[in-house]
Structure 1
Amino acid sequence: MVSTAPYGAWQSPIDAALVAAHEGAPEHVGTIGDEVWWVAPRPAENGRKTLVRRLTDGAEAPALPAPWNVRNRLTEYGGRPWAGVARGAGGPLLVFTECSDQRLYAWEPDDPAGGAPRPLTPVSAVGGGLRWADPLLLPERGEVWCVLEEFTGEGPQDVRRVIAAVPLDGSAAEDRAAVRELTDDRHRFVTGPRLSPDGRRVAWTAWDHPRMPWEGTELKVADVAGPGAPFDDVRTVAGGERESVAQVEWAPDGSLLAVTDRTGWWNLHRVDPDTGRAVNLCRREEEFAGAPWVPGQRWFAPLPGGTVAVVHGRGAQRLGILDPETGEVVDAAGPWTEWRSTLAVSGTRVVGVAASPRTAYEVVELDTRTGRARAIGARHTDAVDPAYYPEPLIRTFTGPDGREVHAHIYPPHSPDHTAPADELPPFVVWAHGGPTGRSPLVLDLEIAYFTSRGIGVAQVNYGGSTGYGRDYRDRLRERWGVVDVEDCAAVAETLAEEGTADRARLAIRGGSAGGWTSAASLATTSTYACATIAYPVLDLLTWADGGTHDLESHYLEYLIGPLAEVPDRYRDRSPLARADRVTASFLLLQGLEDAVCPPEQSERFAEAMAGRGVPFAYLTFEGEGHGFRKAASVVRSLEAELSLYAQTFGIDVPGIPVLELAK
């Protein structure tokens, strides 16, 4: 029976504990022979990540017991943490990085003696230590090649990065000198190497401050020298300061494939490794890649017959098979509408991770011979009746100067409740992180947590988001804190003007760069009644003066402008400098081990707001970094957020702890 109740006060079976139990998604898929492996989150196990193995008979089992945690902290965001190969006898051989000590380990899961993983690399007491990512396992050479991030001092920018070879015999486990460096450190950032089929050439990408990898990277090619020697005749064959090469791979026939945005869109090209001449294999105003935040992301994977599996689209990204000879793409059938940046190929099989508005991310296999796609791992099961899931709308709004703003709108929805006819619902604008990110249109129980209670959600892919071409990304150049704030406000205000949302009950929330947008919105607009601000950037001057990790330490030159030329802009746009203009209530959430957005900024913001009469709460989380992985943290933060909305919007929400708001 459907009952009438105010928006926001509806009862829902989707509680915070259920959301936390389903936090995260499978990632970093790979194949070892006919087996499929991937990294899976375990929020209930202190937020660790484990390897999961799907055997040839279809059985699926966690491969590494607690407390093993398969993750690395390369550039703090990490990179692909594992690789594996099949062997003629003895089962597969794997290497992976362990989060607690950041060492690289070798592991033989079918060892009849039940041997534990053995370390391959040493521990360094200097700064952030030694970190390894994007491994290429080469047992025939007795090595694993990967990105090495080595701290040379205690500061976050005291670091160098190279491609290195680690011996598989364990001789480097206590001896840094046994690690062989294959490149020099002339470039600040590198991705993992890709070896040509004949073993004679290698390719990778590199870039330097102040650029981020979606601004400009270089495609490097080198010759593989003899045993014990570094790469030879290193040369740049594509890319530059205004061209982003997001991924590079060798095809089985020895040709070099790369995704570059030289046309204004990330398209797949065949690149001559000698001359750099590039041929666009599918010229479309679509993206065949996304922002390459971490080494090891894969939006395309060459197949043995000459075709290429590609993740592509404008906005939403789907899986297709590209014929390079004709430029035609045939998309995989099935309910999945969004594919992540992880693909693996084994023979004629393509494996990836995909979701839809009705299903969470699961491991999906496409048989290119039959065209059949099926979920084979981390299969979605409905934790509650799907009738409680939201029904999203894809919309394009008009922002300032007539510019397009892309968004996903999730109206309140419940099979049990309806609201009084004369009431409009509260809405929360979600600003994604990055800011070079994108909100995918997929089932997210965190969204359903609010919509099933009668609170609408608007995910805004504001100017600067990926998925819509380089010009759309570049709207944020020197206008961070302006374009993102304006675009989010345009969506919120349009929803209010058209009668979709209650203008008096609008909120905004976001984490990281989304936290910045939320805080900046409170400091510069009167659109919102409250905000949830998670692990944010709040003070640009501190950020620019060594107050963050190395990867983004010069990012503000793009987002704001050179500090020496526009110092006032850094002060004027910082929410911390505008704390006196904040009049709306807010919740501030911060992980105490966050190296990207350190707690110091949140602490100063809370101190600046104390005693000013604005209701707010500042919650900190032990053992959490940039983003919350532990189930308990997710529960606490979600319930606090709902309580903030209840108090601000005047809603009675029983059954959740009341958030204490200071003034």
Structure 2
Amino acid sequence: MPLQAPYGTWPSPIDAALAAAHDGRPEFLGAVGDELWWTEPRPQEGGRRALMRLTGESRGPAVSVLPAPWNVRNRVIEYGGLPWAGVPRAEGGPLVVFTHFADQRLYALEPDAPDESGPRPLTPLSPATEGGLRWCDPIVVPEHGEVWCVLEEFTGDGPTQLRRVLAAVPLDGSAATDRARVRELTADEDRFVTGPRLSPDGRRATWLAWDHPAMPWDGTRVKVAEIAEDGTLSSTRVVAGGPEESVAQAEFAHDGSLLIASDVSGWWNLQRVQVTATETAGTRRPVPVPLCPREEEFAGAIWKIGQRWFAPLPGGLIAALHGRGAQRLGVLDPQTGELVDTAGPWTEWAPALAVTDTRVTGIAASPRTSYEIVELDTRTGHTVVLAAQHEDHIDPAYYPEPQIRTFTAHDGRDIHAHIYPPHHPDRSAPADELPPYVVWVHGGPTSRASLVLDLEIGYFTSRGIGVAEVNYGGSTGYGREYRNRLRGQWGVVDVEDCAAVARTLADEGTADPARLAIRGGSAGGWTSAASLTSPATKGLYACGTVTYPILDLEGWATGETHDFESQYLESLVGPLAECPGRYRERSPLHRADRVAAPFLLLQGLDDVICPPVQCERFLEEVKGTGVPHAYIAFEGEGHGFRMAETIVRALQAELSLYDQTFGLSRQDVPSLELGS
């Protein structure tokens, strides 16, 4: 029979070190011939991303092909993009190119070369600002002896003084010391571009483009161009997309037709577009043909360039992620519209699909398993875990047990959420006690919380603290109308939706109304800080944890962030020139005198997306209010903590905040000093 102990005081084998060790997931999976390659997090190695290889012959075990400190990652649009590409060769093994985070250069690697010479640079060293070069979303084009990719080039010292084009980098290394050897494939008429994808015959290229103030989930354009024998692009035209149509992915099928994921229907659905060489920029666009019209999402928000939600198979079928609020893997017959889902326990698939003949490989997880490399044989329907296999490092009885719920806002809107009650196999609370709950706010804000095993959630639930993950209005996964709820309403709808979930949990007797907290990072940090300073939520939260947040809208809109999101507030809040008062009224910086609850502020000192200066200004405004708070700044961390020691300290500090605020009297966590 379980021992009885107050909520929040339970012992747990899920310590901060265990949670930190399993932070992050495999990413950017792709095929090189019959091999599989991807990147994998290494929190214990300074947060670097390792490049993994799984050969086709043995299908295991996977090996890291580059030792530390190689870090396969880039900073294009600051969130990064696909950092590697490869091609098989008849002799000598595969040729792989990748970007290294430390210098942002593009390198070539021949992992089977007998001389073990290591990576060789393909692009020149460059400064971080004016003249700085970054590369992402590459493809290797052997017939031209080049790597085609996105080039992001800084033209001045400011974060928005830059240009982006498609570029061709010689594989012979001649551009490593000569920028002039880089061949630009497009002019810089588009602010943002994704990398090119080539038709099977190599005669056409397609890519996505968009411009400020639109974000890629607002409106993108699909471009197609002809490829000449000398590798130049011509007859470039827009074949799909527009200001209010977001196309998240474009790729050629094996028959040469173009496949796109467009939300013109209100949902990201798959369409086929027939393009011909006779089209010119002035001709009428081809009419897309829906392949499987459903009120489901077959794609998502482009936060990283090179994400892949669908992948054509050689026989004409299409592997596609789809769903509402979560995405599962299905195989679509575009001729009939029939979509057959993959069997297995996985409830969430990441946007990274690789095809090798009739096999589709993806990155999948569930509430009981972490992200794994999973292969589907489309001929048999059989699935198998190939790599990154989940291991139970503790008894799974301690894992969080989620509930999928829909709440109702004050105006009748649906609010989607995942509720994780306190859970422990050997402890229960007194019958007359209600548990503390923490509302978790995801970032973006155009993103969503995935229903997968997260040991950070387990860190709290196994100790007797409930977690409510809220996919507030503005989140992806529920169609464009749900996503657009946040237009002009950031700091209102997100705050209201999180509060509605918290109040409902308290009103129905699920949560202790006196022990509610809120926490979030980035845009989630904004919502958390806005909730602690909003008159609409006065007295609701007993405390809050705010991580690498936006705190001053006007500062963020006038040069205190990176280029990608520099005009994001035009849609989230409204044009600054037209409604400057709204920027001031909603900013936690200008409502700091309303903070009444204790809070913890966590910040990376290398963050260029949400810079430390905003935290510093906010703390100056809070000074002297008497509100208990703590500020921890981490050297070497940017936007999103990656180092194990940082994650450990952040989790322990957060638990200590709850320990002190909720009166838990825990003895197993370092005490957080709260000043005022």
Q: Which TM-score tier does this pair reach, normalised by the shorter chain?
A: over 0.9
| 1:295 Cα offset (Å) | 1.1
In the alignment, does 2:426 pair up with 1:416?
yes
Alignment of 1:177-256 (within 5 A): 177-227=180-230, 229=232, 231-256=233-258
Contact 2:61 2:387 in 1 (8 A): no
Q: After superposition, give the CA deviation of every residue in 1:311-339 in whole Å (9 maximum; x if it has no partner).
A: 00011100000010111100000000000
Match for 1:220: what amino acid?
Answer: K
1:543 aligns with 2:546: no
How far residue 400 of structure 1 moved from its aligned partner, in angstroms, is 2.1
Question: What are the residue-to-residue correspondences of 1:406-485 with 2, within 5 Å?
Answer: 406-485=416-495
Match of 2:577 in 1: 564
CA distance in 2, matches of 1:268, 1:208: 23
Alignment of 1:282-321 (within 5 A): 282-321=292-331
Match of 1:61 in 2: 63
Partner of 1:91: 93
Q: Which amino acid aligns with 2:364?
A: A
SS at the partner of 2:144?
A: coil
Alpha-carbon distance in structure 1 between the residues aligned to 2:141 and 2:559:
38
120, 123, 136: which one pairs with 1:121? 123
The reply on whether 1:659 has 2:672 as its aligned counterpart is: yes
Give the AA of the match of 1:577: H
Give the partner amino acid of 2:96: L
Tell me how far 1:28 sits from its aligned partner. 0.5
2:355 to 305, 326, 345: 345
Question: Which residue pairs with 1:48 in the alignment?
Answer: 48
1-structure distance, mates of 2:410, 2:210: 34
CA distance in structure 1 between the partners assigned to 2:378 and 2:362 by the alignment: 13
State the alpha-carbon separation in 2 of the partners of residues 528 and 63 from structure 1: 48
Among candidates 512, 530, 540, match of residue 502 of structure 1 = 512
Per-residue CA deviation, residues 122-152 of structure 1 (Å, 9 max, x unaligned), is: 1222607211000011122200000000001
Distance 1:649 1:536 in 2: 24
CA distance in 1, matches of 2:334, 2:478: 23
Query: Over residues 41-91 of structure 1, what are the superposed CA-to-partner deviations in whole Å (9 max), with x where a residue is unaligned?
Result: 000000000111112212221111111000000010000000111111111
Name the counterpart of 1:624. Answer: 637
Other-structure match for 2:110: 108
Pick aligned residue for 1:511 from 521, 525, 545: 521
Q: How many angstroms does 1:610 deviate by?
A: 1.6
CA pair 84-529 structure 1, distance change in 2 beyond 3 A: same
> Does the residue aligned with 1:400 lie in a helix, a strand or coil?
coil
Tell me, what secondary structure is at the counterpart of 1:558?
helix
Shift in Å, 1:2: 2.2
CA distance in 2, matches of 1:606, 1:625: 20
Q: Residues of 2 paired with 1:294 and 1:48: CA distance?
A: 17
Structure 1 335/126 Cα, relative in aligned 2: closer, same or farther at 3 Å?
A: closer
Letter matched to residue 141 of structure 1:
H
Q: Does the 8 A contact of 1:38 with 1:51 survive in 2?
A: yes
Question: Match for 2:171: what amino acid?
Answer: L
Give distance in 2, aligned partners of 1:387 and 1:147: 46
Matches of 2:175 and 2:645, distance apart in 1: 38
C-alpha deviation, 1:228, in angstroms? 5.4
Query: Given the superposition, is the C-alpha separation of residues 126 and 593 from structure 1 closer, same or farther in structure 2, using an over 3 Å criterion?
Result: closer
Task: Give the conservation status (yes or no) of the 8 Å contact 1:356–1:442.
Answer: yes
Moved over 4 A (4+): none
Secondary structure of the residue aligned to 1:285 is: coil
- Count matched residues: 662
Report what 1:78 is aligned to.
Answer: 80
SS of 2:45 mapped into structure 1: coil
State the one-letter code of the partner of 2:424: S
Unmatched 5+ stretches in structure 2: 277-284
SS at match of 2:601: strand
The residue number in structure 2 matching 1:271 is 273
3-state SS of 2:514 partner = helix
Give distance in 1, aligned partners of 2:213 and 2:609. Answer: 17
Return the offset for 1:624: 0.3
Distance apart, 1:234 and its partner CA: 0.8
- C-alpha contact 1:405 1:463 (8 A) present in aligned 2: yes
Describe the superposition over 1:367-387 as per-residue Cα deviations: whole angstroms up to 9, x where unpaired: 001101111110000110000
Instruction: Show the counterpart of 1:17.
Output: 17
- Paired residues of 1:314 and 1:467 also in contact (CA < 8 A): yes
Q: Secondary structure at the match of 1:259?
A: strand
Give TM-score scaled by structure 2 length.
0.97
| Alpha-carbon distance in 1 for matches of 2:231, 2:461 | 59
Deviation at 1:37, TM superposition (A): 1.2
| Paired residue secondary structure (1:408) | strand
Tell me the secondary structure at the aligned position of residue 603 of structure 1.
helix
For residue 177 of structure 2, what is the aligned residue in structure 1?
174
Q: CA deviation at 1:276?
A: 2.4
Q: Secondary structure at the match of 2:353?
A: strand
Aligned CA-pair RMSD:
0.8
Q: Determine if contact 1:157/1:549 at 8 Å carries over to the other structure.
A: yes
Distance 1:481 1:243 in 2: 25
Q: Which amino acid aligns with 1:533?
A: V
How many Å separate the matches in 2 of 1:33 and 1:220? 27
Greater mean alpha carbon deviation, residues 186-195 or residues 124-133: 124-133
- Post-superposition Cα deviations, 1:496-517, rounded to whole Å, max 9, x if no partner, equal 0000000000000000000000
- 8 A contact 1:69–1:98 mirrored in 2: yes
Give, as a single letter, the amino acid of the residue that structure 2 aligns with 1:469: G
Cα distance between partner residues in 2 of 1:83 and 1:126? 24
> What is the match of residue 647 of structure 1?
660
Q: In structure 1, what residue type is equivalent to 2:662?
A: F
Aligned to 1:383: 393
Distance 1:314 1:2 in 2: 37
What is the CA–CA distance in structure 2 between the aligned matches of 1:615 and 1:225, rounded to whole Å? 66
Q: Is the 8 A contact 1:126 1:152 kept in 2?
A: no
- Give the letter aligned to residue 249 of structure 1: E
Q: 1:487 to 1:512 in 2, by over 3 A?
A: same
Write the deviation string for residues 541-560 of structure 1: whole angstroms up to 9, x where unpaired: 00111110000000000000
Identity rate, percent: 69
Provide, for residues 184-231 of structure 1, a one-character-per-residue CA deviation record: whole Å limited to 9, x for no partner: 0000000000101111111000000000000000000111123253x1
- Can you give the 5+ residue segments of structure 1 that lack an aligned partner in the other structure? none
Q: Distance in 2 between matches of 1:137 and 1:413?
A: 49
1:550-573 per-residue CA deviation (whole Å, 9 max, x = no partner) reads 000000000000111111000000
Distance 1:554 1:486 in 2: 24
Please tell me the residue identity of whatever aligns with 1:333.
A
The offset of 1:621, in angstroms, is: 0.4
Q: For 1:101 and 1:190, locate their aligned partners in 2 and report how far apart those are by CA, in whole Å.
A: 22
Q: Which letter does structure 1 place at the counterpart of 2:643?
A: K
